[in-house]
Amino acid sequence: MLYSELFGGEWLENNEDVEVTGIAYDSRSVTKGNVFVCIKGYESDGHKFAKMAEENGAAIIVAEDKLDVSVPVCYVENSRRTLARLACKFYDEPSKKFKLVGVTGTNGKTTITYLVKSILEAAGKRVGVIGTNQNIIGDKVLLTKSTTPTTPDSPELQQLFYEMVENDAEYVIMEVSSHALELDRVYGCKFDVGVFTNLTRDHLDFHKTMDNYLAAKAKLFDISDKGVVNYDDDGGRKIVDTKDCEFLKVGFGKDCDLVAGNMKINAKGDDFDVTYKGVTYPIHLSIPGKFSVYNAICAIGAALLLGIDMDTIKRGLGDAKGVMGRIEVVPTDTDYTVIIDYAHTPDGLENIIRAVKEFAKGRVITVFGCGGDRDNTKRAIMGEIAGKLSDFSIVTSDNPRTEDPERIVDMVEEGIKRTDGEYVRIVDRREAIHYALDHAKKDDVIILAGKGQETYQIIGKEKFDFDERAVVFSYLNKRI
């Protein structure tokens, strides 16, 4: 693609038209012929690295502030939006070539994307998923250089969309984080359906207030043709009241368009009814917990807005398997159960403990911590939740990052001390898991909360191999 195709004909008045070889926003990854876009980040400012980008071969630089470089500079008001717009053009607007569904909310995003995928595949569609666990089209895993955990930055996202097109995707379901919406990673995308799951405390280190957090999530419905919202959630009701979008309201309340009821939960999953347009349908989902029912009705709503019939939806949900790191049962030859779950927010932790208590015959033992360099206001809240709901808690580390893990555990402990819950503190997560395995009794359920699908632990600024499945297997094998 030529520069003139990216920037328009005016660019040729004073500059030579040459071939674009790529778009970069990290000066270290710039190669000859790239466009380098200077992004003002929270830890560093890309403008400071413009010279390095030039030395690495950048042929043009996009910037907001005045630069002293010898290559042409295109000055813009908003470099993040320009980055997204250029990426869309460079990859030939790939998101316009399939149906795009975006899922936002504090909890449930990953599971909902996979439930929608299962429904659409039951309808014979070819489906891609972009999200926390992995990026896939059908059964093929797509790799990206992005290091963002949920929604990739715009160039990587558009590259993934391009690969989806190359692999004949008819639908793409993606998680859309509040950071992605606030930082314009999905700028230039148009979603056929947007889905809102819920809003609970998280990411206040970034958004500062819950109102800001909701406002970021709500931006999805400015760029969606239709929307599905959990109308039982306060945030969902506010979104419906403030956004001009065709909404389908889902929940347990009678004022919803799609209403769930008659819920029965056991270790094998959920059985419940949904009523839509006066007709009631029985649904089975093999993922237990009331929050799983909320995930399911959000997925049902999205499928309905995509034109999928209810019989196909029922079949797709019936075929749906559990998602890695979401109420994931670890196979162990023991008389107790080990479950891994990504719960890393107050609401997520409460949901998983309550879900397990629905079917646990013995004690519920919760092993959990809180991440470092992240919202510290939720730490005591999570401690109090674990203390109130668990039969026994083990407070430990999550990803401490650059914070002192002892200090993080201290803050969690402030909350658990407000309860009568029994607990121990073991800062080393591996040792904490070993302790849980050593002290579990017949019919107990151990919840390893917080890490989910992650196979690493971040200590300082380094990632260390840490797959909780391997930790459990290894320790149990040594005990045999």
Q: Are strands 279-285 and 269-276 parallel, antiparallel or unpaired?
A: antiparallel
Residue 80 vs residues 30, 96, 223: alpha-carbon distances, Å: 17, 21, 17
* CATH code at 3-90: 3.40.1390.10
Going by the DSSP 8-state scheme, the letter that residue 86 receives in this structure is H
Angle (nearest 5°) at CA 115 between 141 and 150 = 55
Residue 264 vs residues 231, 273, 296, 358: alpha-carbon distances, Å: 21, 10, 14, 10
Domain with CATH 3.40.1390.10 in the chain: 3-90
Residue 40 token pair: 């003002």
Collect all residues with Cβ–Cβ distance below 8 Å to 175 and sequence separation of at least 6.
102, 103, 104, 109, 110, 113, 130, 131, 132, 150, 151
Find, among 226, 262, 5, 216, the residue nearest to 101 by Cα.
226
Confidence (pTM): 0.84
Cα distance between residue 191 and residue 9, in whole Å: 29
pLDDT of residue 147: 44
Q: Do residues 447 and 339 lie in contact, with contact meaning Cβ atoms separated by under 8 Å? A: yes
Cα distance between residue 56 and residue 146, in whole Å: 20
Segment holding 445, helix H or strand E? strand 445-449
pLDDT of residue 79: 94
Segment holding 385, helix H or strand E? helix 379-389
Cα distance between residue 110 and residue 99, in whole Å: 18
Q: What is the DSSP secondary-structure string of 324-354? A: TTSSEEEP-SSSSEEEEE---SHHHHHHHHH
Instruction: Order across the sheet with 34-37: list the strands.
Output: 22-24, 34-37, 60-63, 73-75
Q: Do residues 320 and 427 lie in contact, with contact meaning Cβ atoms separated by under 8 Å? A: no
Cα distance between residue 393 and residue 233, in whole Å: 29
Dihedral (CA of 208, 210, 212, 216) sign:
positive
Residue 244 token pair: 């001009």
The Cβ-side half-sphere exposure at 149, using a 13 Å CA radius, reads 12
Cα distance between residue 423 and residue 477, in whole Å: 26
Give phi and psi for 209, each to the nearest 5: -130, 160
Find, among 316, 285, 318, 290, the residue nearest to 302 by Cα.
316
Residue 286 identity (one-letter amino acid): S
Residue 376 token pair: 């510290």
Q: Which CATH architecture has domain 328-479?
A: Alpha-Beta Complex (3.90)
Residue 42 identity (one-letter amino acid): Y
Domain with CATH 3.40.1190.10 in the chain: 94-319
Find, among 216, 186, 194, the residue nearest to 95 by Cα.
186
SS3 call for 113: helix
Q: Which CATH architecture has domain 94-319?
A: 3-Layer(aba) Sandwich (3.40)
Along the 480 residues of the chain, how does pLDDT read in single tens digits? 888 888 876 656 677 788 899 999 999 999 999 999 999 987 789 999 999 999 999 999 999 999 999 999 999 999 999 999 999 999 999 999 999 999 999 888 999 999 999 999 999 999 999 988 889 988 888 765 444 456 789 999 999 999 999 999 999 999 998 888 989 999 999 999 999 999 885 666 665 788 888 999 999 999 999 999 999 999 999 999 999 999 999 999 989 999 999 999 887 889 999 999 999 999 999 888 898 999 999 999 999 999 999 999 999 999 998 788 888 889 899 999 999 999 999 988 998 999 899 889 999 999 999 999 988 999 999 999 999 999 999 999 999 999 999 999 999 999 999 999 999 999 999 999 999 999 999 999 999 999 998 999 999 999 999 999 999 999 999 875
Going by the DSSP 8-state scheme, the letter that residue 377 receives in this structure is G
